[in-house]
Homo-oligomer: A and B are copies of this chain.
Amino acid sequence: MPNNKTALVISAHAADFVWRCGGAIAKHQQLGYDVTVVCLSFGERGESARLWKQEGMTLEKVKSERRREAENAAKALELHDIQFLDLGDYPLRVDDDAKFKIVDIIRAVQPDFMMSHSKYDQYNTDHMYTTEVALEARMIAQAWGHNPGQKVLGAPQLYLFEPHQTEQMGWKPDVFLDITEVWDKKLAAIHCMEGQQHLWDYYTNVAENRANHFRRNSGGQSGGRPAKYAEGFQTIFPSCVDVL
């Protein structure tokens, strides 16, 4: 279906897409979008503490385990296209070859919108580096002179999804998405992240409280859509509309 709407998520580590935009993925898949998730690394060094505490663990085992978890989560979200670039983490390093591979993916997907991390993250420099890469790759994908003849990219929004400890990063959501009807799928995806059980309740709380923000901003105490779970996003490009 070449006319399908599409979306592209660029995730520094294998699990980020689950906590931060699993609901958006499931909802848009359900709406008929083809969503692609690119995991630049598995989070094998820096986000797999539970695995490393096990006897005899190796880097390959961790990566394979993290991949399995991410693939399971993708299934739970009914996400059919997840790609692993295996670029290493802590620190993540994206050389020009890897960057052009990301550009290729962007052009192949031709996303209606993109998603990535917050602009700043003093706790996790991989995260902010991923956003830098996403912006640069988006720009290259728009260039008529990059692989001339290919279809260039339009101007999709880049949504910055929710970081951990939002206020420390100066992240400010300006869009809330109602994910009530796909919450079961997101929760199932969360439960695939066996190595990070300490975050299951955390991101359930986040979803409940973002729904409170949804209700308050869509009508306040005099009504408001009764969303029960929501996700927040920060846009970095303005929107273009016909009606306010």
Contacts and interface: CB of A to CB of B under 8 A. Distances in A.
A166 interface: yes
Given A124-B139, A139-B124, A238-B217, A244 B24 contact: yes
B205 A217 contact: no
Contacts of A53: 144
A78 to B, nearest CB: 16
Contact of A238 (B152, B174, B208): B174
B140 A222 contact: no
A239 B175 contact: yes
A236 interface: yes
Interface residues of A, number: 95
A57 B148 CA distance: 9
Interface of A: 7, 24, 27-28, 31, 44-46, 48-49, 52-53, 57, 59, 62, 89-91, 93, 96, 99, 113, 122-126, 132, 135-136, 139-140, 142-146, 148, 151-155, 157-159, 164-168, 170-178, 198-199, 201-202, 205-206, 208-209, 212-214, 216-225, 227, 230, 232-233, 235-244
The 8 A-B residue pairs with the shortest CB-CB distance in the complex, in nearest-first order: A45-B145, A205-B205, A52-B144, A46-B143, A218-B240, A90-B143, A167-B172, A155-B220
16 contacts: A24-B244, A44-B145, A45-B140, A90-B139, A90-B140, A122-B236, A152-B221, A153-B220, A154-B223, A166-B166, A175-B239, A178-B242, A201-B208, A206-B209, A214-B240, A217-B240
